[in-house]
Amino acid sequence: MKIAVGADHGGYPLKQTVMDELNRLGHTVVDCGAPAYDSKDDYPDLARAVGLAILRGQAERGILLCGSGVGASIAANKLRGVRAAVCHDTYSAAQGVEHDAMNVLCLGSRIIGEELAKALVRAFAAARFFTDPRFQRRLDKVIAIEQEQV
């Protein structure tokens, strides 16, 4: 699977760990930046880059890293078709995909360490959306909310 990865200065310390784990699992990483640590970069720019990579078909999913994961999640969710969530436990990282069709995992580099980050990446990447009608019905309702927005 192609997975876009983006990190601002707050998330940058875990970026290489996340990309290495994805590569180890056999996924293709689409690096959306930042290419180097920059204390003046802004999470909305990286969230936009990852979201657009998904919307343009350059990646199937994304992983965003910032200090807490919250800002990246808020920014990514502004793009129609992006369903991003902060997950700092493996249950949510998998269940978010399985039940809610989450396509962007947001992680807080100042909250979790390398080993938990790798476990979250594994759970997120291995999960698949459940095709049970109740999950599809709920996803359809989320998409309808997006489409109502002007």
SS3 53: helix
Residue 63 contacts by C-beta under 8 Å, 6 or more apart in sequence?
3, 4, 5, 6, 18, 22, 50, 104, 105, 106, 107, 121, 124
Q: Are 83 and 103 in contact (CB under 8 A)?
A: yes
Catalytic residue among 27, 32, 66, 106: 66
Active site residue 88: no
Active site residue 66: yes
Active site residues: 66, 99
